[in-house]
Copies of this chain bind each other. A is one copy, B any other.
Amino acid sequence: MNTQIVLASRPIGEPTLNDFRTVSTAIPKPAAGEVLLATKFLSLDPYMRGRMSATKSYAEPVALGGVMVGQTVSEVLESADPTYRTGEIVLSANGWQTHAVAPGKTLRKLDAEIAPVSYALGILGTPGKTAYCALLDIGRPKPGETVVVSAASGAVGSVAGQIAKIKGCRVVGIAGSDEKCTYVTDVLGFDQCINRRKADLPKALAQVCPNGIDVYFDNTAGTILTAVLGLINVGARIPLVGLIEHYNATALPAGPYLGPLLTNRAKIEGFLVSDHSAHSAAFARDVAGWMRDGKLHYKEDVLDGLDKAPQGLIGMLRGENFGKLIVRVS
């Protein structure tokens, strides 16, 4: 049987376990050009909270009763597409279920010899490419500049900060625990990391950014963005990549006062990775090279079993994960 986790109700504020429901359906059969897949790993990402709401964003919401969406690393069980053979591992977007049929042309083969296949959900996939493109295309960091990264130990922030270090910047992370901060400085090599739960953020940021802030890689918006705006330099660039602080908001939240943008001729620019497919080759080449050279570190936070996915997403929105959150499904 195919075990699926579907959207039972649209959450108001923080999702609860009751917003999800587990159902069993027959394992589907692949038609010509299709492949039957068994999910090995499911990616959990903050954007999924947006899909649980009725509001159309850049993508359609999940329907009530529909399978929760998500990228997966899957194994070919049966193929009606000559390109794929049983046992091959592919990147797909099968969502929160153990099995799925997908058109062969929507899949990408993964090679376990090059990197653990689950990395395709993180540093070698959408989160890594988000970090690479948003930092380089919008942030445009120059050597010696100060770059601040929120959610610094997460799937996107950890890569963005390490690339900024490779580009010769002074890099300051913001994370949610002392343990995460130690990882960010000692393993990822950021120059400083602030524990946002302990520090007076504007004061702590001013202390570790004596020359102001040139680039802020924004995964969170909210209070961190407000604190950063008080310290930006002339010509600062702020790629707006995530809104973690707001995903559970029940009313339209306020934002920061934008006066500092004017006085500093600075910009905030929204980013979606799907606009940047032109940079896929450069991303793959650069990130693979940096990993080979030991310049990029990566940490996974693995939950065992599809049934852990709902609590995993709820916890991620609270900042409870440590590293890229994935679910080992089989």
Interface residues of A (CB under 8 A from B): 57-58, 221, 225, 240-243, 246, 252-272, 275
Tell whether, in the assembled complex, residue B272 and residue A259 are in contact, meaning their CB atoms are under 8 Å apart: no
Q: Are A241 and B262 in contact (CB under 8 A)?
A: yes
Q: Flag if B257 contacts A261 (CB, 8 Å).
A: no
Contacts known (A240-B262, A241-B262, A272-B262); A257 close to B253, Cβ less than 8 A = yes
Contacts of A57 in B (CB 8 A): 263
Enumerate chain B residues within 8 angstroms of A256, measured Cβ to Cβ: 254-255, 258
Q: Are A261 and B270 in contact (CB under 8 A)?
A: yes
A266 and B270 contact, CB distance less than 8 A: yes
B residues less than 8 Å from A242 (CB atoms):
262
Number of copies: 2
In the complex, what's the smallest C-beta–C-beta distance from A140 to chain B, in angstroms? 13
A240 to B271, CA, bound (A): 19
Q: Which 3 A-B pairs have the closest CB atoms?
A: A267-B269, A254-B254, A261-B270
Q: Which of B240, B241, B254, B272 contacts A255 (CB 8 A)?
A: B254
B271–A262 CB distance below 8 A: yes
Q: Give the complex CA separation of A58 and B261 in angstroms.
A: 11
Q: In the complex the two chains form, what is the Cα distance from A259 to B242 in whole Å? A: 9
Q: Which residues of B contact A246 (CB under 8 A)?
A: 257, 259
- Chain B residues, Cβ within 8 Å of A262: 240-243, 270-272
18 contacts between A and B (CB under 8 A): A57-B263, A221-B259, A225-B258, A241-B262, A243-B258, A243-B262, A254-B254, A254-B257, A255-B255, A255-B257, A255-B258, A261-B269, A262-B272, A265-B269, A265-B275, A267-B267, A267-B268, A268-B268
- Bound-state CA distance A254–B259 (Å) is 10
Q: How far is the CB of A260 from chain B (nearest CB, A)?
A: 8
Do the beta carbons of B270 and A264 come within 8 Å of each other?
yes
A286 to B12, CA, bound (A): 54
For A261, list chain B residues within 8 Å (CB). 240, 268-270
Chain B CB within 10 Å, residue with most, of A253, A262, A275: A262
Find chain B residues with CB under 8 A from A252 CB: 257
Q: Are A221 and B272 in contact (CB under 8 A)?
A: no
Residues of B within 8 A of A269 (CB): 261, 265-269
